[in-house]
Amino acid sequence: EELRNAYLRVKTLELLLYLAKLKPSGRNQMTQYQAEQVRVIREIHDLLASNMERRFTIEELSHKYLMNPTTLKAVFKSVYGESIAAHTKEHRMKKAAALLRETDLSVAEIAGQVGYESQSKFTAAFKEQFGQLPKEYRRN
């Protein structure tokens, strides 16, 4: 019964999205989403922000929150103004910068804490974001 209700909820939301797209608006993308969808997206954001060391897939999130992957990505972008990946990366880099300033953790430890398995990938992402290597950032 619980699974059936969840399934019906998802199908109802999908139907509402479809019907909303049929409204003449002159734009292909919807600009307003159901309050429930926005609430779920904010929950997803909080989950991602509080578990930066873990990488979540869109499929994993869509199953956990009973939302179509395409809808999840579209509503997230509408609410936060950027894709899930870009938004998560920005949060990871901000946390990494704070850890570099406030702790003596090694760059490898910080990379792990913000969800990078490879120190080299972390270093490249950090340099792209801040224009300097993590060790240079820490020194300055």
**pLDDT (0 to 100) of residue 30:** 43
Above 50 in pLDDT, residue 26? no
pLDDT category at 2 given cuts 50, 70, 90 is: confident
**pLDDT (0 to 100) of residue 135:** 95
What's the residue count for the chain? Answer: 140
Q: Judging by beta carbons within 10 Å of its beta carbon (0-12, 13-18, 19+), is residue 95 exposed, middle or buried? A: middle
Above 60 in pLDDT, residue 29? no
* DSSP 8-state assignment for residue 24: -
- pTM for this predicted structure: 0.69
The average confidence (pLDDT) of the chain is: 89
Helical H segments across the chain, by residue range: 2-21, 35-50, 58-65, 69-80, 84-102, 107-113, 119-130, 134-139
pLDDT tens per residue across span 54-108: 999 999 999 999 999 999 999 999 999 999 999 999 999 999 999 999 999 999 9
